[in-house]
């Protein structure tokens, strides 16, 4: 078990501030909001603050009345908060939307090869036969949560198939690190960089597999997930900066430190539970906390990032604005921090 030292009341106060700021951001029904409100849901589960739930319900109901967008892999990220809303309120309309997203992913979303989900950001065929690490959070983890809840073996297997092939396509076996994307047409990793947030998507979602599946050891793909995460975290710990963070290109000393990636990676270490990672999580906590303003803005978060053409493309993504994914991953990290000590 990790032995991280922290001030519980201080972290609770930061969670409340970040949650309040996130709910004031006027986010729309897409992946930035999906990640943000996943974090807000985790904050609600950690604090039990009914005001958070009331605000989520009010936002969702207003958006549903106004009309929802077409489904893509990215918009399916909104399914995470809908699971929480259904579980807490019992309102069937939330679950109906969850299942419409599941239907899209299972029956209509673009796939290639061994039924691997192609990453989609719009209704167009934006990135033909490309697998991105982002898909694990937006779709595979979501499918796993729903499949586990319904005890739907076919859905669980579909989700685990996504994990399996994303590991095969994106993890470099020689380093343990993850590439951002894979192009199945050209059979390459495009620019071939170890992008920080891609590694966070991979690590965080893999750390959630065991909690979702009580008999995880009966699924052979879970052995791949366990070993992949083990090797990835062993590599990542060596790339942590003196400030406790990870860079936007992990092995590039000229790339800036990036907070959303750092939150996802540190949360994965917490959930994986290796006591030897205690000192890395401790440093990450200090680094992340130093980048959260008093009014709840998570700073040092890079903008939305496609698979860039070169190193300069990643280095030059701006980090001057707060982002939904930064808020959400910070809330997930801090919530996991508190819950691991319970």
Domains of the chain: 8-337 (1.50.10.10)
pLDDT for the residue 342? 64
What is the chain's alpha carbon radius of gyration, rounded to the nearest angstrom? 18
Cα 10–Cα 15–Cα 17 angle in degrees, nearest 5:
95
Structure tokens given for 127: 């990135």
Give the list of residues 6+ apart from residue 110 with CB closer than 8 angstroms, or none.
117, 118, 120, 125
What CA–CA distances, in Å, run from 98 to 85, 86, 105, 146, 323? 10, 9, 11, 8, 24
pLDDT for the residue 250? 98
Give the list of residues 6+ apart from residue 173 with CB closer than 8 angstroms, or none.
231
Question: Which of the following is catalytic: 61, 91, 134, 224?
Answer: 134
Among 244, 262, 335, CA closest to 298:
262
pLDDT for the residue 191? 96
pLDDT for the residue 339? 87
114 catalytic residue (yes or no):
no
Per-residue model confidence as pLDDT tens for the chain (342 residues): 899 999 999 999 999 999 999 999 999 999 999 999 999 999 999 999 999 999 999 999 999 999 999 999 999 999 999 999 999 999 999 999 999 999 999 999 999 999 999 999 999 999 999 999 999 999 999 999 999 999 999 999 999 999 999 999 999 999 999 999 999 999 999 999 999 999 999 999 999 999 999 899 999 999 999 999 999 999 999 999 999 999 999 999 999 999 999 999 999 999 999 999 999 999 999 999 999 999 999 999 999 999 999 999 999 999 999 999 999 999 999 999 998 866
Residue with tokens 């989900």: 117
Could you count the other beta carbons within 10 Å of the beta carbon of residue 36? 28
- The DSSP line for 60-83 is HHHHHHH------TTGGGGHHHHH
pLDDT for the residue 270? 98
Give the pLDDT confidence of 277-330 residue by residue, as tens digits.
Answer: 999 999 999 999 999 999 999 999 999 999 999 999 999 999 999 999 999 999
pLDDT for the residue 308? 97
Q: Cα-flanking dihedrals φ and ψ of residue 204, to 5°?
A: -65, -45
pLDDT for the residue 340? 81
């Amino acid at each position: 078990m990790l032995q991280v030292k922290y001030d519980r009341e201080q972290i609770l106060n930061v969670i409340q501030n970040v949650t309040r700021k996130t709910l004031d951001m006027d986010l729309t029904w897409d992946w930035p909001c999906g990640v943000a409100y996943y974090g807000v849901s985790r904050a609600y589960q950690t604090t039990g603050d009914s005001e958070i739930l009331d605000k989520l319900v009010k936002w969702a109901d207003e958006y549903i009345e106004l009309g929802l967008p077409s489904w893509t892999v990215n918009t399916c990220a909104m399914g995470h908060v809908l699971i929480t809303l259904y579980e807490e309120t019992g309102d069937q309309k939330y679950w109906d939307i969850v299942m419409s997203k599941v239907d899209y992913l299972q029956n209509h979303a673009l796939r290639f090869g061994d039924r691997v989900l192609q990453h989609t950001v719009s209704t167009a065929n934006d990135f033909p036969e490309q697998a991105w690490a982002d898909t694990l959070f937006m779709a595979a983890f979501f499918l796993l949560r729903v499949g586990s809840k319904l005890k739907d073996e076919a859905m669980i297997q579909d989700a685990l198939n996504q994990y399996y092939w994303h590991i095969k396509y994106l993890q470099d076996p020689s380093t343990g690190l993850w590439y951002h994307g894979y192009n199945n047409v050209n059979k390459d990793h495009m620019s071939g960089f170890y992008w920080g947030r891609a590694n966070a998507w991979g690590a965080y979602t893999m750390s959630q597999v065991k909690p979702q599946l009580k008999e995880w050891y009966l699924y052979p793909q879970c052995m791949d997930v366990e070993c992949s995460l083990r090797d990835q975290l062993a590599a990542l710990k060596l790339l942590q900066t003196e400030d406790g963070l990870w860079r936007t290109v992990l092995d590039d000393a000229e790339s800036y430190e990036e907070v959303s990636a750092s939150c996802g990676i540190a949360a994965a270490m917490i959930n994986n539970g290796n006591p030897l990672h205690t000192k890395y999580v401790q440093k990450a906590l200090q680094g992340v906390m130093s980048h959260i303003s008093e009014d709840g803005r998570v700073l040092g978060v890079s903008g939305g990032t496609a698979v860039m053409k070169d190193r300069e493309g990643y280095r030059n993504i701006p980090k001057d604005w707060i982002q939904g994914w930064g808020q959400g991953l910070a809330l997930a990290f801090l919530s996991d921090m508190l819950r691991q000590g319970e």
